[in-house]
Amino acid sequence: MLIGVASGTDALLLAVRGYDLTGCVLTSPFTFFATAGAIHNARATPKFADIEHETFNIDHTKIQETISKETDINAIIPVHLFGKPAEMDSIYEIAKDNDVAVIEDAAQTLCAEYNGKKIGSLGTTCFSFFPSKNLGGFGDGGMITTNDDDIAEKIRILRIQGVTPQVLSSCNWI
Ligand SMILES: Cc1ncc(COP(=O)(O)O)c(C=O)c1O
């Protein structure tokens, strides 16, 4: 499923709110400010795991060292930088073992592939169409892709001030 939003920042904020993340969210310290900013603005707390020297993406071994079922971390937001995806197989495995959500920040990674799969098809993913990006919009734009029906429905409601898509489609002005 694909949900259009106003910016990559909104995509992250709505995704974090869609998952009801109120504790700590583990992300990369090497990213655009919007990643940690969206976590903070959704009233969760950003926590950081260090990056790989070769790719500058979050290091899954550092995630493994930081997270456990005893920590208050309830999601991981890996950031795919410069068109290169983070180590998603390991990250999804760690997330499953620790029962936490994953939201991918793919603002800089439109059309990239990870092990033959397009980024955006693995789970819940946020994209940006800021004019400086590979596919730049006029002003800004964003998109969330997800394969979780419940999350998609929640985000669709959150993005328009709580109005359900059913109510919206019954309005004759759209
Ligand atoms: C990694 C990353 N995340 C999030 C964003 C935010 O996207 P936007 O500028 O569309 O709000 C950007 C864009 O600059 C980005 O590079």
pLDDT score of 173: 61
> Which of ligand 1's atoms lies nearest the C-alpha of 108?
16
Q: Yes or no: say if 104 and 131 are a contact pair by the CB < 8 Å rule.
A: no
pLDDT score of 43: 96
pLDDT score of 168: 77
pLDDT score of 46: 98
Q: Going residue by residue through the chain (174 aa), what tens digit of pLDDT does each one get? A: 999 999 999 999 999 999 999 899 999 999 999 999 999 999 999 999 999 999 999 999 999 999 988 899 999 999 999 999 999 999 999 999 999 999 999 999 999 999 999 999 999 999 999 999 989 988 999 999 999 999 999 999 999 888 887 787 787 665
Domain 2-168 listed as CATH 3.40.640.10:
yes
pLDDT score of 165: 74
pLDDT score of 166: 79
Q: Is 9 in the pocket of ligand 1 (CB under 6 A)?
A: yes
Backbone angles phi, psi at 75, to 5 degrees: -165, 160
pLDDT score of 163: 87
Q: Is 8 in the pocket of ligand 1 (CB under 6 A)?
A: yes
Cα–Cα distance measured from residue 118 to residue 169, given in angstroms and rounded to the nearest whole number = 31
Could you identify the residue written with the tokens 């992250």?
A: 12
Q: Is 31 in the pocket of ligand 1 (CB under 6 A)?
A: yes
> Secondary structure of the chain: what % helix, strand, coil (to 5)?
30, 25, 45
Ligand 1 mean position to 106 CA, how many Å?
9
Ligand 1 mean position to 107 CA, how many Å?
5
Best CA proximity match to 58, nearest among 10, 95, 91: 91
pLDDT score of 172: 67
Cα–Cα distance measured from residue 115 to residue 54, given in angstroms and rounded to the nearest whole number = 18
Where do the domains of the chain lie? 2-168
